[in-house]
Structure formats: structure tokens, C-alpha cells
Amino acid sequence: MIEVEGLRKLFPVRKGLVEALVSAVSFQSKQTYVKAVNGVSFSIERGEVMGFAGESGCGKTTTGLLLLRLYQPTEGRILFDGQDIALLKGRELALFRRQAQLIFQDPYESLNPRFTVRRAIEEPLIVNRLGSKSERRDQILHAMELTKLKPIEAFIDKYPHELSGGERQRVCIARAIVLNPILLVADEAVSMLDVSIRSAILILLRDLTEKLHMSTLYISHDLSLLGSVCDKIAIMYAGEIVEIGKPEHIIDCPLHPYTQALIAAVPVPEFDRKQAMSVTIKGEPPDLVDLPHGCAFGPRCNAFRRECEENKPSLRDVGEGHFVSCNLRR
């Protein structure tokens, strides 16, 4: 359903007063950019659940916002059922956004404190001018039924401060699905919730994906979470996808040194300690304004070679839909 090709998003770096004056005097006014997303390509099938993982600042959230056209791509194509959404404007863009919805990380901050549950779920229908008052009411009740906000009469007139964190996130999910979207982007949708209720929300999202036949993109730091709910996982580093494949490939048999380090950082029970991977990485993430010439991960990689400094690797198929971007896997 979604085909992304060579997607890039560059943000111009604003110069300070002193830097701007120096540039003006020296006639050097070259604009610099933060390469937030730097040439990613992937696809998501209808009804598929895909996960994006990586450390903070790797570009996974920006990629999700690009898929929703909340950012305009600098380069590349985003094909949604064969239509390039990067070219959409006006009414066509508004129609697309009915089909693509976002679940935010913090359910309390993403709900208007003056709106009841009924009004919060109804908001997308009002904005898009859909249905009569009675029809909207039926859709609200249906969305609450799907998200298990029961008994409905106990929740429908409550305000966000009267709900628990899990109940607020269910309201956010109901608001997202009331338009019957085809694509759902969940940005750290359970990270602000208690551990005890995370599994219930994840099971709910998985059930909704199957019932409504949606495509879902999870964005998370938690690889163990992605491994349990996703059909496919992509690992991002410095704005690029360095490895992508099925959960059993990424979790059980990671090939890229960065993926191996992420897996090694996942806590394991004491009795599994011997089976845990022991991989460490050094240094800090690269400057996204001035990336290394070759492999972006090279300066932090324990298997770094001269080839890594000279050649920028690209994603290569190593079999069974498992792709890795590493000079060691040629």
C-alpha cells in the first residue's frame, strides 16, 4: 500500500547573528542542512505492522511525520496506493489525511482538557464535516466499543483528568480510528504508560489493525516491544535504514553492528545472561549536518575498516526479505 523511494528531509540550519555577519563580510553564505532523513526506501503492505527503531535523533519520528505529510519531503517519493502524496495539495491532501492518522506519545498532552471523551472523539468528524449529529454519535459509540471504553455511559462524558493513563490512550486511539483510516502511525504509543497496562494497549492496537485492515507503523526505542507486535522491523541510524527484515531476523540474527548493539542493550533475565549478546559501541552519534564520507556508523563500529571510510554501503538483500547496509556483508 505504501512505497517509499529515496526519501530525504533536510532542515536548514539557522545562523546566529555573529555567524551571519562573518558570512556577509567574507561573502560565504552557503546554507547548511540537518539531514534528518537521508535517503530511505521501504514498503508497507495493506494490513501489515511495521516497526521503526533506533536511538533518539535517528530520524524515525521524522519519517513517520513525512508519511502523514505533516512534513513536506525534500526529495523522494511516498506512494500511497500508487499516488505520490508529496505532490498533493488542497482538497486532495485533506482527503488523504482522513485515511492517515497519528497516535501521540503522551495521551494527556494530546487531548484538549476542555473536551469530554465524546467531544474529543467527535473532533475529526467535525473538522472533516462528516455525517449528521446522529450519524456522528453512532460512529463515536462504535469507536468506543472497538477500543473497549466500556461501559460507554461511564466514560463518554468524562474529561481527560478524570481518566487513567491507559483510558486516555484508548480515547486517543478511538479518535484516530473514528475516520476508518488505512494508515495508522503510533509514535511511542505506550512509552508513557505503566508497564502493567502496556500489553493491553498493544493487544488492542494489534486487534484493531486486523479488524479494520489497516497498515500500522510503530515508532519505538523498545526492540522487545516491536519484536512482539510487528511483521517487519527497520533499524535507523543517522537518518538512514541500516537493517530491515522480519522480527526473527532482526531480534534473533542481527547482522549490522549497530543492530547487534541495540539488541545487546535490551535487559535479559539472569538465567538467560549467558545467551545475551555482548556488544558495545563507542563515541557519540554523528553530526547530522556533517556526516562521515563513508559509513555513517563507521567511527563507532568495532569492526571498522578502511573500506568503511571510503565506501558508503547500501541495503543489500541477504535472503528471505532481510536487508542490511554494511560493508562487512558484501
- Can you give the CATH number for the domain in which 13 is found? 3.40.50.300
Establish if 111 belongs to a structural domain. no
Answer whether residue 94 shows pLDDT above 50. Answer: yes
Flag whether 123 is in a domain.
Answer: no
Whether residue 208 lies inside any domain: the answer is yes
Q: Which among 326, 330, 323 is positioned nearest to 295, based on CA atoms?
A: 326
- pLDDT > 70? residue 23: no
**Residue 39: what pLDDT?**
92
Asked if residue 104 belongs to a domain, the reply is: no
Q: Report, as an integer, the average pLDDT of 198-206.
A: 88
Pairing type for strands 183-187 and 215-219 reads parallel
Q: Assign 96 to helix, strand or coil.
A: helix
In a domain, residue 161? The reply is no
pTM of the prediction?
A: 0.87
What pLDDT score was predicted for residue 271? 47
Task: Quick: pLDDT tens for 104-134.
Answer: 888 889 999 999 999 999 999 999 999 999 9
Question: What is the mean predicted confidence (pLDDT) over 210-219?
Answer: 92
Report how many domains make up the chain. 1
Structural contact between residues 235 and 223, judged by C-beta atoms closer than 8 angstroms: no
pLDDT value, residue 281: 78
Predicted confidence (pLDDT) per residue in 154-191, tens digit: 999 999 999 998 999 999 999 999 999 999 999 988 88
- The DSSP 8-state label assigned to residue 310 in this structure reads H
**pLDDT higher than threshold 90 for residue 225:** no
In whole angstroms, what is the distance from residue 256 CA to residue 130 CA? 47
Residue-number span of the structural domain to which 271 is assigned: 2-99+181-329
Residue 143 belongs to some domain of the structure: no
Q: What is the mean pLDDT of the chain?
A: 88
Q: Which of 129, 156, 162 is nearest to 142 (CA)?
A: 156
The cell for 116 is 469530554
Q: In whole angstroms, give the CA distance from residue 230 to residue 156.
A: 31
Mean pLDDT of 282-293: 85
CB of 148 within 8 A of CB of 170?
Answer: yes
Q: Is residue 235 part of a domain?
A: yes
| pLDDT for position 312 | 87
The average pLDDT across 290-306 equals 85
Mean pLDDT of 236-255: 92
| 162, part of any domain | no
